[in-house]
Structure 1
Amino acid sequence: MLLRAVGRQMATALRQKTAVRSIAMSRMALGGGGHHHHDPQPVYIPKPGPLDWSLCGSGGKPKHEFEPYKPEVGTFVGALVFVGLTIAAVLFKTDTFKEDKHHHHAHKKHAAHHEEEEHAEPEPEPEAAPVVEEPAVQEEEGAPTASDSDSATTSEPEPVQAAEISEPAPAPPAEPAVTPKEAEPEEPAASTSSEEKPAAEPTTSEAKEEKLHCEYVIIGSGTAAYYASLAIRAKQAEAKVLMIGEETELPYNRPPLSKELWWYGDETAATKLDYTSLSGRKRDIFYEVDGFFVTPEDLPKATHGGVSILRGKKAVKICEEDKKVILDDGTTVGYDKVLIATGVRPKKEKIFEEASDEAKQKITYYHYPADFKRVEGGLADKSVQKVTIIGSGLLASELAYSIKRKYGDVQIHQVFEEKFAVEDILPAHLAEKSTEAIRKSGIDVRAEQKIHGVRKCCKNVVLLLKDGSELRTDLVIVATGEEPNSEIIEASGLKVDEKFGGVQADKHLKVAENVWAAGAIVAFEDVVLGKRRISSWEHAQVSGRLAGENMATNGQTEKAFWYQPSFFTKFAPHLHINAVGQCDSSLDTVTVHADPDGETPLEKAVVFYKSKDDGSIVGVLLLNVFGPSLDVARRIIDDRKKVDEYKEVAKLFPLYDPPKVEEEEKEKSP
């Protein structure tokens, strides 16, 4: 009975404190009562009545009536006082907010330890005193940090520096047993390491080695490296990936540098590297924003992994035995698995390298975002009115067309030694048509011309051509080819492919134990077309994904490279070219043209490239042919069958536009 009364009293008191009331679910409380045309009466909430029972079993009354609308000022004042006292206690009674809290903790700990030693000195018996001194003398010879226990709290940095300077001295003997008292002075060295870090950094690189160790290391920060990191993280959600990039830019998409940035870029393109896509949205060339990447310092502490990038660092050597990558500044990065994705760089031309320093200021090897900014900036501010592009390949032809498309009043000259533009890919008759199309777009094409001299004249550069003529220009853009960044391959003792260049890899893109390669640097075994080295955006993407996935298999079966990457180019108003497979003009080709019908504004054709070994189709080039044609071409290449009737194979591609509705009705009418 007494327990029941106590329970009821506590429940009632709780209701009074929290102002909780039980409302009967009557018709009046729910809005009922009375007739439907009357307004519902307000809900009646009775005041709390007296307690039914007191502790003694008799009825009792509350000391204070409940007033729901009276502000409880005392409660708020008490809460504020409590919060203030708590903050004051934290500020004055602890060292939580002190800047040197780590040093303060260590100081308190060693001060307490010093007090313990002072109080503990009279306790040992006189006979045990010599026994304590002997290990201390031995430790002075090998480790001066434990020479004087009385001065441990006042001169901590000095013994540590002395220990670092005396590292070449002989190691201390290991015979005497180390007691907890002797090992205690080592703690101050660890607690004050942040203060001694500037003095310790230049002495050795071992600290850097420990800090820069990552499970997956990617040498390079381009397209292949970026997609490899995505594949690794997709396979292992908590993997830690470190990219080492020689460029200072974030990973970016390179093709827009010669296409979209010129076609759809506005006044902000030179600074933000952005353009308006076909969907009408603004986008830039970068794959991710800076916040996507974890800082190298925070990567080891990332609970769920992440991708980090070292920008402006060049890897110079891979040590397979030690599983380490050596950087140009001497830093060593440890790895479990490493990917080589160093890509390619512009090919240097001797004639321009031997030019004067003044002339070199007007010469640009076009390859990086900084090159686009320089050219676009000069054209935008009208300081560049004449541009000469050296080269006959895709990049040179794309640049000539793209610059002329945006700046129609600028004079564009394209100079090359070959007979036709893009003749290394296109068969002769299409290369000739392409060169004429470039000329019709307003570009001055100087074919079969070689640069014999370069000199600076006033604000211009004068180029001496093979035929003796001179070409005066404001800016020279060199785009004569690319070469793989293979220095690290040679320095690491890896195999360099003599025919294709780059590093040799198998069909899984594996170079050696725990070493893979991807992108334009790798010469790999294609399961369909044999040994190849491809320099295209889609190959960088696909090979990066495959290499990253194979790196993260952890003993599972690795996948072989079988996909045939494609590329797209446009260097004249009515020349849209898509190609897949091995498209080399040195191979035998068969071209199937669509019959001109007057209503087809674009010339359409399909070019088949035949293998030198068995005559099978190894490449397909599509001129103004769209739709799912690339997938059809990949299927033809994968089959590796000999073809006799190429016109029949060409029927698989939409060479002709579908008939219009009017034409279909005419055909159906009698």
Structure 2
Amino acid sequence: MRPPLSKELWFSDDSSVPETLRFKQWNGKERSIFFQPPSFYVSPQDLPFVENGGVAVLTSRKVLHMDVRGNKVRLDNGSEITYDKCLIATGGTPRNLPALERAGEEVQKQTTLFRKIEDFKSLEKISRNVQSIVIIGGGFLGSELACALGRRARNTELEVIQIFPEKGNMGKILPEYLSNWTTEKVRKEGVNVMPNTVVKSAKYQDKKVILKLKDGQTIKTDHVVAAVGLEPSVELAKSARMELDSDLGGFRVNAELQARSNIWVAGDAACFYDLKLGRRRVEHHDHAVVSGRLAGENMTGAAKPYWHQSMFWSDLGPDVGYEAIGIVDSSLPTVGVFAKGTAKDTPRAVTQESGTGIRSESETEEVATSVNVSAGAASSAHPPQEGEDYGKGVIFYLRDKVIVGILLWNIFNRMPIARKVIKDGEEHDDLNEIAKLFNIHED
């Protein structure tokens, strides 16, 4: 499970976390990062002889070629595996900045493209032994890591700098006023945030990475983290003769996540047809879980279309978090309705109450059957005022007057309602009324 790599793992007081990979959730319960314990899996050699089947994982091997007519794949050691049905879940590879790639081997050695457990272990160790770290990127990963490292830097001499080209943190997702507020929140976590900043070139000199910025400034640092997006891993497309999406990237699949007669794709690498929102590619934990489950069911003949709107969530430390669903893009028109927050409206409080830490797990099966606005619900909802503290609220993202995305700011366990609003796909005259569905005025 990748999410804790940029969230809870950093907030533990236990120095053995990089070895044990066990972490305390915001609710205090301990958990392992691994999706299943090793005992769950069968060894690949034993799999043909296990009476009721099972799941085997073959590690340290790469698939080089797919023979779709012969229903087999060839591995990098020359061996072959035959299949009846095949699921491709190759995920993606973190992008690097061209300016860093051009800078040579020494700069590359001092750069982390944060994606894997090894990257967490390495950066955790580096953060204890250097004076300065620069994080490039203002999206989910960059902002979460900046908050985590900023919190750690409070008790050390570490300087944490975050730079990105947008006007504020999460600028591609949050409306501008909320992005500005979030940027101030990240600064309060001890991070030197530099928005509207682009790296022009980099070099290694006197044991430091020197970043030259577009405005002529330079930054000297010991280590750089590039959190600038993901490139879907689609190397198998050529031999499998599978169609790629030229706009969104990834393997093009239908609403049932099928690419060819015996091949399905799930997770980051799938560019799928969403029945409500059109063609999409999604890079979030809940989508990986949900699309994997759906593809698995369809491989056994279920023939189910992708209708479940996967959610994503981001925590900027234990006190501010949001959950979102659908097309959440700050270039769309948005309407925000906010209310006063209380001590209960934080990621830490909600996980203490619900007993779950990976929030998407608690709601993937829930479905809201109807969304009726009750008469007499509190009507003090309002658009945010300048300088206000955004305690909790709902932001609606609109396309042709229809809600296509919903972001819940410090409001939790309401995703089934958001899912139903998007699934209904209706025009709404008064979004204040829809905001009441989320009980944002409960104390």
The answer to whether the superposition gives a TM-score over 0.5 is: yes
Counterpart position of 2:99: 351
- Deviations along 1:301-360, one digit per CA (max 9) or x if unpaired, are 223322111112121222111001122333221111100100111012211112222222
> For the structure 1 residues 577 and 344, does the alpha-carbon distance in structure 2 shift closer, same or farther, using more than 3 Å as the test?
same
Alignment of 1:631 with 2:419, yes or no, is no
For 1:273-422, list aligned pairs within 5 A.
273-278=21-26, 280-380=28-128, 383-408=129-154, 409=156, 410-422=158-170
Aligned 8 A contact 2:90 2:269 in 1: yes
Structure 2, unmatched stretches of 5+, are: 346-388
Between the aligned partners of 1:596 and 1:486, the Cα distance in structure 2 is 44
Which amino acid is the alignment partner of residue 304 of structure 2? Answer: K
Alignment of 1:264 with 2:45, yes or no, is no
Aligned 8 A contact 2:67 2:239 in 1: no
> For the structure 1 residues 419 and 578, does the alpha-carbon distance in structure 2 shift closer, same or farther, using more than 3 Å as the test?
same
CA-based RMSD of the aligned residues comes to 2.1
Q: 2:246 aligns with which of 498, 513, 533?
A: 498
SS in 1 for 2:216: coil
Shift of 1:491: 3.1
Q: 1:620 aligns with which of 406, 428, 438?
A: 406
Counterpart position of 2:277: 529
- Deviations along 1:179-234, one digit per CA (max 9) or x if unpaired, are xxxxxxxxxxxxxxxxxxxxxxxxxxxxxxxxxxxxxxxxxxxxxxxxxxxxxxxx
Between the aligned partners of 1:598 and 1:549, the Cα distance in structure 2 is 41
Between the aligned partners of 1:638 and 1:468, the Cα distance in structure 2 is 49
Between the aligned partners of 2:201 and 2:306, the Cα distance in structure 1 is 45
Structure 1, unmatched stretches of 5+, are: 1-252, 659-670
> For the structure 1 residues 488 and 598, does the alpha-carbon distance in structure 2 shift closer, same or farther, using more than 3 Å as the test?
closer
SS in 1 for 2:64: strand
Percent sequence identity over aligned pairs: 38
Which amino acid is the alignment partner of residue 605 of structure 1? Answer: G
Alignment of 1:552 with 2:300, yes or no, is yes
Aligned 8 A contact 1:263 1:402 in 2: yes
Larger CA Rg, structure 1 vs 2: 1
- Deviations along 1:109-151, one digit per CA (max 9) or x if unpaired, are xxxxxxxxxxxxxxxxxxxxxxxxxxxxxxxxxxxxxxxxxxx
Q: 2:182 aligns with which of 400, 414, 434?
A: 434
Shift of 1:533: 1.0
SS in 1 for 2:415: helix
Counterpart position of 2:315: 570
Aligned 8 A contact 1:259 1:402 in 2: yes
Between the aligned partners of 1:510 and 1:367, the Cα distance in structure 2 is 27
Q: 1:605 aligns with which of 389, 393, 401?
A: 393
Alignment of 1:458 with 2:203, yes or no, is no
Task: Tell me which protein shows more strand as a share of its residues.
Answer: 2
SS in 1 for 2:66: strand
For 1:109-124, list aligned pairs within 5 A.
none
Shift of 1:512: 0.9
Aligned 8 A contact 1:438 1:572 in 2: no
Alignment of 1:582 with 2:336, yes or no, is no
Aligned residues: 398
Between the aligned partners of 2:199 and 2:294, the Cα distance in structure 1 is 42
Between the aligned partners of 1:657 and 1:299, the Cα distance in structure 2 is 52
Which amino acid is the alignment partner of residue 502 of structure 1? Answer: G
- Deviations along 1:36-78, one digit per CA (max 9) or x if unpaired, are xxxxxxxxxxxxxxxxxxxxxxxxxxxxxxxxxxxxxxxxxxx
Between the aligned partners of 1:513 and 1:599, the Cα distance in structure 2 is 49
SS in 2 for 1:525: strand
SS in 2 for 1:311: coil
Alignment of 1:653 with 2:441, yes or no, is no
Of 388-397 and 528-537, more deviation after overlay is shown by 528-537
Between the aligned partners of 2:159 and 2:433, the Cα distance in structure 1 is 45
SS in 1 for 2:316: strand
SS in 1 for 2:85: strand
SS in 2 for 1:275: strand
Which amino acid is the alignment partner of residue 516 of structure 1? Answer: W
> For the structure 1 residues 372 and 265, does the alpha-carbon distance in structure 2 shift closer, same or farther, using more than 3 Å as the test?
farther
- Deviations along 1:380-406, one digit per CA (max 9) or x if unpaired, are 3xx222110001111000000011223
- Deviations along 1:449-480, one digit per CA (max 9) or x if unpaired, are 11122122233212112222221111110001
Q: 1:520 aligns with which of 259, 268, 275?
A: 268
Shift of 1:593: 2.2
Which amino acid is the alignment partner of residue 401 of structure 2? Answer: G
Aligned 8 A contact 2:339 2:390 in 1: no
Shift of 1:270: 1.4
SS in 1 for 2:236: helix
Shift of 1:615: 2.0
Which amino acid is the alignment partner of residue 290 of structure 1? Answer: P
Higher relative contact order (CA 8 A, sep 6+): 2
> For the structure 1 residues 302 and 598, does the alpha-carbon distance in structure 2 shift closer, same or farther, using more than 3 Å as the test?
closer
